[in-house]
Structures are given as structure tokens and as C-alpha cells.
Amino acid sequence: MKILVERSVLLPALAVVGGVVERRQTLPILGNLLLVAEEDGVRLRGSDLEIEISTRAAADVQEGGAVTLPARKLIDIVRSLPEDGRIEIKSQDDRASLVCNRSRFTLSTLAAGDFPSMEVPEAQVRLDLDRELLRRLLDKTAFAMAHQDVRYYLNGVLLELGGGRIVAVATDGHRLAKVVGAAEELSTTGESDPYQVIIPSKTVTELRRLLGSASERVRLELSDRTLRVELGETVMVSKLVEGQYPEYSRVIPTGLEREAKVDKERLRGALQRTAILSNEKYKGVRVTFDEGRLALQTQNPEKEEAEDELELDYSGERVSVGFNVAYVLDVLGAVDGSEVAIEFRNAESSAVWRGVGAEDEVFVIMPMRL
């Protein structure tokens, strides 16, 4: 194989596929990237056996072929080269050379034929989405998903499709995020609405990174075991989390008779200040809703205390609730508007948070005992 490729073209492509490569692998070849020289470019692929990402970069292909190169070393080398550099990559036997101007590197390779390829079953559901919509759904829910929980079905984001809408839900058992978006009708092969899949946490992270800010359409192809995502020249294939997601609607409290509204940025600032003296292990804050005012209080085992107060749009009896500071700050980061609405019942019940007027999103936070 022999190709000539611009550094400005190769580096973004490496960034797309390189994120999936783990620093420690069960198989040595998983530390490599596969490069396949095609007629008018080079296709790159990375995999960890759970997720596979491939993309294409324009290149002058002088000799076809395929090679695998050490991912981290290749990315670091290309990143270090001049921005306007033109790179020659040539492979022979178990070595590959990379030349740019007066810089020359020789890398060891592994057989391209040994690079794993994920099996993709026939899709049961196909859906085209606006890229910004999918990014919004994941950005607003990913913070609430669990990581390495024994309840493996919580280690990801649930996507529920059907009825002209797409719903994203994530929970770790202490908080829940649900966001709804409009979507076209599904193209299915016999499956009835709604269709549910659980996207693993690492896939969610990689997908959010790939979605970026462009507005082009995204194609989702789903089966019982895999998710396939097309974003222009980039294709991601991921295994799905097997199992039944909990009935999330039961976790969302209804009929909450008390509602308060508060400025988002002022609340964020007050929480960040009071959190300085909160218990480092539990990060609890006592939030007191009173007519016209919101009081925050934290304390720690050293008997240090912090208090803050801000204006509140609320008329009702005084209620004090304990919350995890980090959970509230995560919700504030997901809310778009300048004002937050909080619905609650008492100190023992979960509270519903959302941006004022944002009926398509719900954030539930369970109370803490302080």
C-alpha cells in the first residue's frame, strides 16, 4: 500500500476513529487502526469489539492495499507534523513508513486480515433524524446514566421510538432525565411501536463526540443487538445493552401541588458557593422553599457551615428538602432557558425540575436525608 494524504485531511479522520481505541486491550490488534486504500481515498477503522467506527479521508492512492498501524503513535505523529504537510504512508511486509518533508517514521504493523469486523444483523428499524436533535437528546440525558452499575441495563441511555416521536431516558436510580423530540414515522420490518433500545454509556460518549454541531441528517439502523449510525462518511456500529429497561414513567411523580421558579444562573452560583463546605462524601445541600425566598445550607463533619439565599417565585408553606449538589448542577447544565421550574410535594418525595416552558423535558431528583 502507498498513499499520499494531506495532514489537514488525515488528522480529523484519525480523531474520529481513534476515540474508540482503548489504551489497554485484550488483543494487541485492537490497539491498531485499520487503513484500507481505495480508489479515491483511504478508509480508516477502529474497534474495541463493542464499538466500531469507520470513516473516509481523501487521498492520492498510488498503490492499493490494507495495513494496521498503532493508533496512539500514528495520531501523535500526524498531530506533530506541520499543518500544511503532505504525508506519504507506505507499507511493506510487517513495517510501514510515514514520511513528511524531512521527517520519517517507521512503524510496526499487524496483519490487516486479523483486524476484527463487527457482525451487523439486518436492521429491524430505520430512522432518519436531524443531527442536532439527536445530539440534544443525548446531551440532556447522558449525565443521569449509570456507570458500572450491577443493574447493567442502567449503564446507558434508553431510546424509545414510535408514534412520531423519539424519547431519550437515563437514570442511575437516584435521578432521572427524560427528553422528547419529534421524529418521522419508523421504517420497520414487523416491529410494533414503541421500539426500545439501550445504548451503552461508552457508545453514548463516542456518539456525542461524533455528532458535533453540524446540521446534516443522521441515519439510525437498529436491531435487537446492534445500533448502526451513519453520519456522512462516518459509520458507527455498536452492540446494545441487553435487558429490559425499567418502567421509567413510574419514577416520574405526578400531581405535585407545589411549584417554584428561580433564576438558573443565580441558583448555579449559590450552589457552587455553598458546595465548598458540603460533606465531601455526600455533597448534600438543604434547600428551603419559602415565600419569595430560597435558602441554601450545607455543613460538613468539621462543623463548618455555608448559607446562601436568593429570590424565588413561590407562594406556599415552607418546605425544606435535601438534594445532592452535583445532581442539581447537572440538571442546571442541561436546562436551556434562563429560569428553572421546580415541582415538589414535601421533603420525602422526588422533585421534578425543568426549564420554564420546556414541556418536552423532565429531570427527576430524589431527596437526600441530611
Question: What's the Cα-to-Cα distance from 362 to each of 55, 126, 180, 314, rounded to whole Å?
Answer: 35, 27, 9, 20
User: How high is the mean pLDDT of the chain?
Assistant: 94
The reported pLDDT for the residue numbered 302 is 94
Residues 6+ apart with CB under 8 A from 163: 193, 194
Domain spanning 2-114: CATH 3.40.1530.20: no
Give the torsion through C-alpha atoms of 256, 262, 263, 269, to 10 deg. Answer: -100
The reported pLDDT for the residue numbered 48 is 95
The reported pLDDT for the residue numbered 98 is 98
Place of cell 456500529: 237
- Segment 287-329, tens digit of pLDDT: 999 999 999 999 999 999 999 999 999 999 999 999 999 999 9
Query: Does the pLDDT value for residue 113 go beyond 70?
Result: yes
Region 142-148: what's the mean pLDDT? 95
Query: Does the pLDDT value for residue 190 go beyond 70?
Result: no
The reported pLDDT for the residue numbered 160 is 95
Three-class DSSP category at 300: coil
**Element containing residue 134 per DSSP (H, E):** helix 131-139
C-alpha to C-alpha distance for 328 and 215, rounded to whole angstroms: 30
The reported pLDDT for the residue numbered 214 is 63
Query: Does the pLDDT value for residue 188 go beyond 80?
Result: no
Assign 230 a pLDDT band (cuts: 50, 70, 90): very high
**Which range, of 103-112, 166-175, 208-217, 231-240, averages the lowest pLDDT?**
208-217
Assign 224 a pLDDT band (cuts: 50, 70, 90): confident
The more confidently predicted of residues 369 and 204 is 204
C-alpha to C-alpha distance for 290 and 319, rounded to whole angstroms: 7
Query: Global pTM?
Result: 0.92
The more confidently predicted of residues 290 and 192 is 290
The reported pLDDT for the residue numbered 183 is 87
The reported pLDDT for the residue numbered 28 is 94
Query: Does the pLDDT value for residue 192 go beyond 80?
Result: no
**Which range, of 21-25, 238-242, 335-339, averages the lowest pLDDT?**
21-25
Three-class DSSP category at 305: strand
Cell triple for 210: 461524533
C-alpha to C-alpha distance for 14 and 336, rounded to whole angstroms: 32
**Closest listed residue to residue 298, CA positions, set 289, 290, 308:** 308
Question: What's the Cα-to-Cα distance from 320 to each of 110, 200, 323, rounded to whole Å?
Answer: 62, 36, 10
Query: Does the pLDDT value for residue 340 go beyond 90?
Result: yes
The reported pLDDT for the residue numbered 167 is 97
- Segment 344-357, tens digit of pLDDT: 999 999 999 999 99
Assign 77 a pLDDT band (cuts: 50, 70, 90): very high
Query: Does the pLDDT value for residue 241 go beyond 80?
Result: yes
Q: Specify the fold of 253-365.
A: DNA Polymerase III; Chain A, domain 2 (3.10.150)
Residues 6+ apart with CB under 8 A from 198: 153, 156, 157, 158, 159, 240, 241, 242, 243, 245
User: Which residues in the chain are classed under CATH 3.10.150.10?
Assistant: 2-114, 125-249, 253-365
Query: Does the pLDDT value for residue 225 go beyond 70?
Result: yes
CATH code for 125-249? Answer: 3.10.150.10
Greatest CA span in the chain, whole angstroms? 78
